[in-house]
A and B are shown apart, each in its own frame.
Chain A
Amino acid sequence: MTSSPTAIILTFLRQQQGTANFSAPQPDDNLFELALLTSLQFIELIQLLESKTGISIDFTRTDPSSLVTLQGLSAAFGSAAPSTLNT
């Protein structure tokens, strides 16, 4: 079964945090401000999403500031993030 972009992102964040008490961010939370992503992890996440979804981001048209939330990332890779998340 193919995972949704939102599921891929949450799995990635959970792995990066490496803690059992990981709680999913809200759709519009800035993942950098929550210290859930660093710039290098952002690159890795984009590469992971591109490989899993087959969608490539054109950064000459996309400002990365639109990709710092769960909502923004999910939308860029083809799915709408739910308004609230079950953790």
Chain B
Amino acid sequence: MNNLTWLTHADSHAPALRINGVEQSYSQLFARAEWLSRAIDWHACGPLRLLAILGNHDAWVYAAMLAAHRLGGGFLPLHPAYPTARLLDMLQQTATKILLVTADALHSLDSILSALHEPMLCILPEESMARSDRATRFPQHRFLSAQDLHQLPARDGQPPPSGNSCAYLMFTSGSTGRAKGVAVCFDNLRAYVDYWLAHHPIGRDDRVAQPADITFDLSIHPIFVSWASQALLCPIPPMSRLAPARFILEHQLTIWVSVPSVAMMMERLKILQPAIFPSIRLSLFCGEPLPTRTAEAWRLATSNGRLLNLYGPTEATVAITSYEWDANSANRHPHSGNVPIGWIFPGQQAALLPASGDLLFTPGEGDLCLSGSQVTAGYLADSHNTANHYFLHPTTGSTLWYRTGDWVRRDEDGCLHFLSRVDFQIKLHGYRIELAEIESLLRELVGHDWVAVIPWPGGEKETQTLIACVAGHDTAAIPSWLEKCRQRLPAYMVPSQMQLLPELPLNSNGKINRAALRQHLQQSLFIDEAT
């Protein structure tokens, strides 16, 4: 039997999922999961035992996650809007052999299948998904329709082979020009969910917002904490997330989980009036710095609720520190621009790695390092990046540490404050982006190394867009370069514009001088806007 908390309510008639106007109870959702799991044979899937899910805002996505877990395997979420080359790379890196496809992703399927040489078993669960002529057009692949699934025998649930088995695999932007796979194991996910059940329990009366795509690991929180608690999960349609006030009110949401950008957008649209969202009793923000101004506006808008600012990289399973913003917080941090990231979760460990190389557990500043049951063991088949970020320290024996690359300050009371990145990784609307990954592609496109991507406006201001700076004169090539970026990168990583310069400024070490480039952009863009 499988003893994962989120699989324990299979017989409950409580509502589990409300999506696209349709509600499913736990028993209905698990019946779908059981039905889908008939098609899943891990023997044909390679050692990672992953079910790839090509889809996003669709009920079958959720049944598929449960189907994988009830058979002791994991899932690999694939966004149908991602470029085909990126999706293929993710499938190939994980050697995944089973792909569940939802109705909102059919348009991506054919381009993937035509480029995929390894045989793939495609599950098309929606009755309306006619098998069409895909079996003829793609003879190297197999297809299972709803009718086929009805013919297959049921499979008994089984636990994961070990706690180290992969529960889900997320890809993050990689500095070497290729997305990095983070395999979060069942022990990691169980530790995370257990923390929430113990410290911030929710229950059958709760309706939980999910305003993040399933390829963004912040979605893991609402999905699995809801299902472990018999709460109702309410995924928000992508276009409604721009300003989801009506959605919150219509669904009487009680738990809010999002990146701060969503609240910041609502603040700019003057939606955050005092007590406008009385049903919300707990708000969680994670994924990027939360401005104190936005936190205070949200706190007043959700006057019956508590507000927690969370912090955590994908490698440490969604979030691993928290700070509660309350009525007195504004007085405690009168001059801070952003809410502190707070204290490490009980049972997890945080240390600082300053330039000296010592691992500090005392107040100070340094690269934040994490260890504990939520921290993953390394990147998928990427020894270079694993060695750069995961390490053992002579002073802590066999404890594996993950170096986040986030430079933080720790106060006397242990409270952590995010200060900056130590590298060229940025957050844009919560998405983690390695600028080096975009620059790697640009170098390939333009045929030389003189490229730099500048987060704009950046500095102390929130990044709103990316500007690519390239040495050269060939303005006619810009549209095709940007088009190739759109073909190879997710939309959020595509530069909004490309600036050609005769040459890029260099610093005394001969490296591209990004500060000077930013200054140049400030002058040239200001002149453009003024004229």
Instruction: List residues of chain A with CB under 8 Å of any chain B CB.
Output: 18-19, 21, 30, 32, 35, 38-40, 42-43, 46-47, 57, 59-65, 67-68
Among candidates A18, A38, A42, A59, residue contacting B246 with C-beta atoms closer than 8 Å? A59
- Inter-chain CA distance A65–B246, complex, in Å, is 11
Q: A32-B239, A65-B237 are in contact. Are A46 and B247 (CB under 8 A)?
A: no
For B, the interface residue count at a CB cutoff of 8 angstroms equals 27
Contacts of B243 in A (CB 8 A): 59, 64
Interface pair A63/B429, CB less than 8 Å apart: no
Interface pair B265/A62, CB less than 8 Å apart: no
Interface pair A40/B464, CB less than 8 Å apart: yes
Interface pair B265/A35, CB less than 8 Å apart: no
Contacts of A43 in B (CB 8 A): 242, 265, 268-269
Say yes or no for B130: interface residue by CB 8 A criterion: no
Among candidates A21, A40, A57, A65, residue contacting B240 with C-beta atoms closer than 8 Å? A65
Interface pair A68/B239, CB less than 8 Å apart: yes
Q: A35-B486, A59-B271, A63-B247 are in contact. Are A19 and B240 (CB under 8 A)?
A: no
B131 to chain A, nearest CB (A): 27
Interface pair B465/A38, CB less than 8 Å apart: yes
Contacts of B261 in A (CB 8 A): 39
Secondary structure at the A interface, as helix, strand, loop or mixed, is loop
Beta-carbon contacts under 8 Å, B88-130 to A: none
Q: Which residue of B lies closest to A16 (CB)?
A: B496
- Inter-chain CA distance A62–B246, complex, in Å, is 6
22 contacts between A and B (CB under 8 A): A19-B479, A30-B239, A35-B486, A38-B496, A39-B261, A40-B265, A42-B242, A43-B269, A46-B269, A59-B271, A60-B245, A60-B271, A62-B246, A63-B239, A63-B246, A63-B247, A64-B239, A64-B242, A64-B243, A65-B239, A65-B240, A68-B239
Interface pair B265/A39, CB less than 8 Å apart: yes
B406 to chain A, nearest CB (A): 24
Chain B positions 446 through 474: 1 when the CB is less than 8 Å from some CB of chain A, otherwise 0? 00000000000000000011000000000
Which 7 residue pairs across A and B have the least CB separation, nearest first? A65-B239, A64-B242, A59-B245, A64-B243, A59-B243, A60-B245, A63-B246
- Inter-chain CA distance A30–B238, complex, in Å, is 12
Chain B positions 225 through 261: 1 when the CB is less than 8 Å from some CB of chain A, otherwise 0? 0000000000001011111111101000000000001
Interface pair B268/A61, CB less than 8 Å apart: no
A69 to chain B, nearest CB (A): 10
Interface pair B242/A39, CB less than 8 Å apart: yes
A51 to chain B, nearest CB (A): 12
Contacts of A47 in B (CB 8 A): 268-269
Beta-carbon contacts under 8 Å, B483-499 to A: 486, 491, 494, 496-497
Contacts of A39 in B (CB 8 A): 242, 261, 265, 429
Say yes or no for B276: interface residue by CB 8 A criterion: yes
Contacts of A32 in B (CB 8 A): 239
Contacts of B491 in A (CB 8 A): 35
Q: Which residue of A lies closest to B242 (CB)?
A: A64
Contacts of B269 in A (CB 8 A): 43, 46-47, 57, 59
Among candidates B242, B276, B429, B479, residue contacting A60 with C-beta atoms closer than 8 Å? B276
A38 to chain B, nearest CB (A): 7
Interface pair B465/A61, CB less than 8 Å apart: no
Contacts of B237 in A (CB 8 A): 65
- Inter-chain CA distance A19–B475, complex, in Å, is 11
Interface pair A63/B240, CB less than 8 Å apart: yes
- Inter-chain CA distance A10–B488, complex, in Å, is 28
Known: A18-B497, A43-B268. 10 other contacts (CB 8 A): A35-B494, A39-B265, A39-B429, A43-B269, A59-B246, A60-B271, A62-B246, A63-B246, A64-B240, A64-B241
Q: Which residue of A lies closest to B271 (CB)?
A: A59
Q: Which residue of B lies closest to A37 (CB)?
A: B242
A34 to chain B, nearest CB (A): 11
A64 to chain B, nearest CB (A): 4
Interface pair B246/A61, CB less than 8 Å apart: yes
- Inter-chain CA distance A75–B247, complex, in Å, is 21
Q: Which residue of A lies closest to B528 (CB)?
A: A18
Q: Which residue of B lies closest to A56 (CB)?
A: B270
Contacts of B241 in A (CB 8 A): 64
Contacts of A57 in B (CB 8 A): 269
B456 to chain A, nearest CB (A): 11
Chain B positions 365 through 409: 1 when the CB is less than 8 Å from some CB of chain A, otherwise 0? 000000000000000000000000000000000000000000000
Contacts of B266 in A (CB 8 A): 59
Contacts of B242 in A (CB 8 A): 39, 42-43, 64-65, 67-68
Q: Which residue of A lies closest to B462 (CB)?
A: A40
In this complex, the member of A35, A40, A47 whose beta carbon has the largest number of chain B beta carbons within 10 angstroms is A40
Contacts of B244 in A (CB 8 A): 64
Contacts of A40 in B (CB 8 A): 265, 464-465
- Inter-chain CA distance A62–B266, complex, in Å, is 13
Q: Which residue of A lies closest to B277 (CB)?
A: A60
- Inter-chain CA distance A42–B261, complex, in Å, is 13
- Inter-chain CA distance A40–B261, complex, in Å, is 9
A49 to chain B, nearest CB (A): 12
A59 to chain B, nearest CB (A): 4
Contacts of A61 in B (CB 8 A): 246
A56 to chain B, nearest CB (A): 8
A39 to chain B, nearest CB (A): 6
- Inter-chain CA distance A63–B465, complex, in Å, is 25
- Inter-chain CA distance A57–B270, complex, in Å, is 10
- Inter-chain CA distance A39–B265, complex, in Å, is 8
- Inter-chain CA distance A39–B246, complex, in Å, is 17
Q: Which residue of A lies closest to B244 (CB)?
A: A64
- Inter-chain CA distance A84–B451, complex, in Å, is 41
